[in-house]
Amino acid sequence: MNYKGIFAEELYKAFEKQMEIKSIIQRIEQPKHEDLGDYAFPCFDLAKVMRMAPNKIANELAPKIQSSIFEKVEAVGPYLNVFLEKKSVASEVVKIIQELGSNYGTTNFGEGGAVTIDLSSPNIAKPFSMGHLRSTVIGNALGLICEKVGYRPIRINHLGDWGTQFGKLITAYRKWGNEAQIRQNTIKELLALYIKFHEEAESDPSLEDEGRKWFKALEEGNQEAVELWKWFREESLQEFNRIYELLGITFDSTNGEAYYNDKMQRVVDLLEEKELLTESEGAMVVELDNLPPCLIKKKDGATLYATRDLAAAVYRHETYDFSEALYVVGNEQSLHFTQVFEVLQKMGYTWAKEMHHITFGMMLKDGKKMSTRKGKVVLLEEVLNEAIELAQQNIEAKNPSLEDKNFVAERIGVGAVIFHDLKNDRRNDIEFSLEDMLRVEGETGPYVQYTNARACSILRKANYKQEGSFQLIEDEEAWPVITRLRGFPKAVERAATEYDPSQVAKYVLDLSRSFNKYYGQVRILEDESQKQARLQLVSAVSIVITEGLRLLGLHAPEAM
């Protein structure tokens, strides 16, 4: 039930319908401290209009708020505070959650509109490092959250399968590559070649020219270059898919940069038609207001990221007719996307206003950016495997008779890595720390998963079944848990509108803390008169934690 809406209606009547409901709702706050009520209406900015002191306005409003869902209404200085009637509200919240199950918090805000989400997008022929984790898990969570609020997410893995680096790799392979070794351990050997190229190029700058020459040959369809490129791509995809499977992530499209090679000329032609292309030092650019020019073609005629992203945007809008297009790419690409979106708007595409660059900070190792080029890289698969192994050790030490131990360990280990990323505001840099990820106490995935496993254990022990009427919850200690449960739909809405999965991650942490405190205060199974009501609450907590974790891409094991 919309309790905030009921409070707004009461205020609307109290103001004798002189203030709009929308304006009243915007003013209503949720006090930071629970002893100040569940909702508050500040009267400061009404003083001038009503020609009355704010505290007097609050005092006059208090007796006019009559709804039976309010236990207490009081004026405290310039605030009008209301306290919900705990027992009936608690039972109603639990009843709604039990009836809706995993659909609790689901809305049709998006009205079925398509949202393309450009995520993950690793470069082929390079290992899948911890540096790729952020785009992958943030993008996947945004897809799940968008779906929850009524959009149709389309996950696109825009693979980095084109560009000068492939000319460099072909050069390195032809000079130092060993086919047998590469077939045995493709990505590791190709990474070694890539690193060797950059080391050698420091003393022999002609290698850079040779790399550019081979990329030009690839663009022109040279048979040797194309065959090597296809081989590098196929081997890389096999490796990536193994990691995506571990993360539980699937894609609707894996069209990478190369897919748009035959679609770029159309964009160049359109830019020429609209007289947007100008020459600058032999290159072709689009001049932009208050921004550096957007480079479309180099002197040698080679295309760039911007050309491909423009072609991809036009193709995606024609293919999916998206309501919004999200690009989950690091902060350092902000200028690039600002330029691309601006060029599209100059081309007359009004839908470009619905394109958003979802920025995120870097994954740091010892305070420094991880670099593939310099070989300073932490491989994601190794991290995931180590996290799973540590989870297996914890299970063996604490619960060796657990069923499906390996599966549960995988869900805990992988979940720990994902949650460690998503609990942070996406715009901040994150320091990589496996030890921090796997703690069962504190702000971690295992802590939230363990809370759910505890709730499930209580329900199993009581042989709980939802049946009959919903009893009133008498426990005062349950109210903070009820307050958190009521907040789930709002947390989902914030995560969707702010493109910020951390809103859901922080929410499930808060709910877990509240429930664990309640568990420590109340003997759930001991008082027969309250047992069913308490079990209904425990069940509601498990439903919401499980759904909250699902929206982040995590599983919620029922036993750990």
d(CA 263, CA 313): 11
> Between 131 and 478, whose confidence is greater?
478
Average pLDDT of the segment spanning 459-478: 86
Q: Can you give the CATH number for the domain in which 467 is found?
A: 1.10.730.10
In a domain, 557, yes or no: no
Which of 36-50, 182-196, 278-292, 430-444 has the lowest average pLDDT?
430-444
Q: Are 70 and 89 in contact (CB under 8 A)?
A: no
Q: Which of these, 455, 452, 551, 554, lies nearest to 503 by C-alpha position?
A: 551
β-strands 291-297, 283-288: how paired?
antiparallel
Q: Can you give the CATH number for the domain in which 20 is found?
A: 3.30.1360.70
Alpha carbon 216 to chain centroid distance?
37
d(CA 450, CA 415): 12
Same domain, residue pair 342 and 416: no
Q: Which residues, including other chains, have CB under 8 Å from residue 379's CB and lie 6 or more apart?
A: 127, 128, 129, 130
∠167-171-175 over CA atoms, to 5°? Answer: 170
Residue ending a domain, choose from 65, 84, 103:
84
The rounded percent of the chain whose pLDDT value lies above 90 is 78
Give the confidence band of 152 by pLDDT, cuts at 50, 70, 90: very high
d(CA 485, CA 493): 14
Same domain, residue pair 188 and 119: yes
Q: What is the pLDDT of residue 468?
A: 65
Same domain, residue pair 359 and 216: yes
Burial string for 168-204 (b: 16+ CB within 10 Å, else e) reads: bbbbbbeeebeeeebeeebbebbbbbbbebbeebeee
d(CA 298, CA 283): 5
Average pLDDT in the chain: 93
Whether 303 shows a pLDDT value over 80: the answer reads no
Average pLDDT of the segment spanning 292-318: 90
Helical H runs in 347-478? 380-398, 405-422, 434-437, 445-461
Same domain, residue pair 538 and 488: yes
Range(s) of the domain holding residue 403: 380-552
Same domain, residue pair 70 and 155: no
Q: Can you give the CATH number for the domain in which 138 is found?
A: 3.40.50.620
Q: Are 383 and 417 in contact (CB under 8 A)?
A: yes
Tens digits of residue pLDDT in 522-533: 999 998 889 999
Which of 8-12, 149-153, 299-303 has the lowest average pLDDT?
299-303
In a domain, 92, yes or no: no
In a domain, 397, yes or no: yes
Give the confidence band of 371 by pLDDT, cuts at 50, 70, 90: low
d(CA 384, CA 417): 7
Please write down the HEC assignment for all residues of 432-464: CCHHHHCCCCCCCHHHHHHHHHHHHHHHHHCCC
In a domain, 277, yes or no: no
Q: What is the pLDDT of residue 372?
A: 52
Whether 29 shows a pLDDT value over 80: the answer reads yes
Q: For the chain, percent helix, then strand, then coil, each to nearest 5?
A: 60, 10, 30
Q: Which of these, 91, 90, 79, 74, lies nearest to 40 by C-alpha position?
A: 79
Q: What is the pLDDT of residue 125?
A: 85
Q: Across the strands, what pairs with 334?
A: none
Same domain, residue pair 476 and 402: yes
Give the confidence band of 160 by pLDDT, cuts at 50, 70, 90: very high
Q: What is the pLDDT of residue 402?
A: 95
Give the confidence band of 376 by pLDDT, cuts at 50, 70, 90: low
Which phi and psi angles does 109 have, rounded to 5°?
-55, -40
- Give how many domains the chain has, as a whole number: 3
Same domain, residue pair 521 and 478: yes
In a domain, 560, yes or no: no
Q: Are 13 and 64 in contact (CB under 8 A)?
A: yes
Tens digits of residue pLDDT in 207-264: 999 999 999 899 889 999 999 999 999 888 888 999 999 999 999 999 999 999 899 9
DSSP for residue 472: P
Same domain, residue pair 348 and 410: no
∠211-212-217 over CA atoms, to 5°? Answer: 95
Average pLDDT of the segment spanning 366-384: 73
d(CA 36, CA 6): 18
In a domain, 294, yes or no: no
Q: Is the pTM of this model over 0.75?
A: yes
Q: Which residues, including other chains, have CB under 8 Å from residue 115's CB and lie 6 or more apart?
A: 143, 146, 151, 152, 153, 154, 322, 323, 324, 325, 326
DSSP for residue 38: S
Average pLDDT of the segment spanning 446-463: 97
What three-state secondary structure class fits 257?
A: helix
Same domain, residue pair 33 and 169: no
Q: What is the pLDDT of residue 353?
A: 97
Residue ending a domain, choose from 328, 347, 369:
369
Q: In what order do the strands lie in the sheet with 363-365?
A: 368-369, 363-365, 430-431
In a domain, 450, yes or no: yes
Highest mean pLDDT among 48-52, 85-89, 508-512: 508-512
In a domain, 11, yes or no: yes
Same domain, residue pair 78 and 191: no
Q: Are 538 and 497 in contact (CB under 8 A)?
A: no
Q: What is the pLDDT of residue 373?
A: 52
β-strands 277-280, 283-288: how paired?
antiparallel
What three-state secondary structure class fits 255?
A: coil
Q: Which of these, 197, 130, 134, 192, lies nearest to 167 by C-alpha position?
A: 197
d(CA 217, CA 208): 14
Same domain, residue pair 59 and 124: no
Same domain, residue pair 385 and 530: yes
